[in-house]
A and B are shown apart, each in its own frame.
Chain A
Amino acid sequence: MRSANVMSNPAYRTNRIVNGKLCGIVDKNFNIDAFCKPRHFFQDTYKCGPIFDIYKTKNILKGYLWGNKVLPYIIQDIYNDIDTIEDFDLVEYYMKKFKYKI
């Protein structure tokens, strides 16, 4: 099982750069109008982990953590994943704003 936060902007609306031009992430679609639609035109996508993951010990002994039958657990906790000094500042801001205390 993995925690999953619904993304405020579906991943389908994002782009990559191919040969110096903006392109879709699923296929080689260079028609950017296709991605500039309201969010309800797209399926919801999720940021999974890092709030929590649950593993079966027997799977660890088989050689993997998740496998191919992974349950999502949709959560409302704010997505937070600290990697940079700016992330520290942002999470500290959220903690203060929401009076976060354990």
Chain B
Amino acid sequence: MYNFKNEFWAFIPARSGSKGLKNKNIKPIKGKPLIYYSLAIALKTQGIKKTIFSSDSSKYIKIAKKFGCKNFHYRSNKISHDNASEYSVFRDYVDLQIKKNKPLPKYFVHLRPTSPMRKKILLKKQSGFSKIREIIHQ
């Protein structure tokens, strides 16, 4: 049995091959690329120990680095096509960590770049993320 760390890690998947809107995930909104908002929330939320940015694009990874992200999941083409499920991306990351004998958290917080407004829930001082953790640990 794998020994999971009792931690929450944010996981932000952003593939580059969006069919409808090209490069949707880095399209600017209020002057910042879309992925910035999820990265900033993850990096600022107390209780999220690590932020993993997952992409098939070196350009996206470079942008994520610029905004302070330090952990990356380089996605293969196999899990970056239109029909790749969210599950397959998480599973790939988890399998890679296990293969390399690297740590894994007990929980992943999935933050989709396409929902940039989520300040109230995660950063609110009185409740926010601590409330979420409380419920999960009950």
Contact = CB atoms under 8 A, between A and B. Distances in A.
Interface of A: 1, 3, 49-58, 60-61, 64-65, 71, 73, 75-78, 80-85, 88, 91-92, 94-96, 100, 102
B117 A94 contact: yes
B72 interface: no
B90 A60 contact: yes
Contacts of B27: 88
Interface of B: 2, 4, 8, 20-21, 24, 27, 29-30, 34, 37, 40-41, 44, 86-87, 90-91, 94, 104-112, 114-123, 132, 135-136
Nearest to A98: B117
A85 to B, nearest CB: 6
Contacts of A51: 115, 118, 121
B89 to A, nearest CB: 10
A52 B122 CA distance: 9
A102 B40 contact: yes
A50 B110 CA distance: 9
Q: What's the dominant secondary structure at chain A's contact region?
A: mixed
A80 B108 contact: no
B30 A57 contact: no
5 contacts: A1-B132, A1-B136, A52-B122, A54-B8, A81-B112
A80 to B, nearest CB: 5
Contacts of A76: 120-121
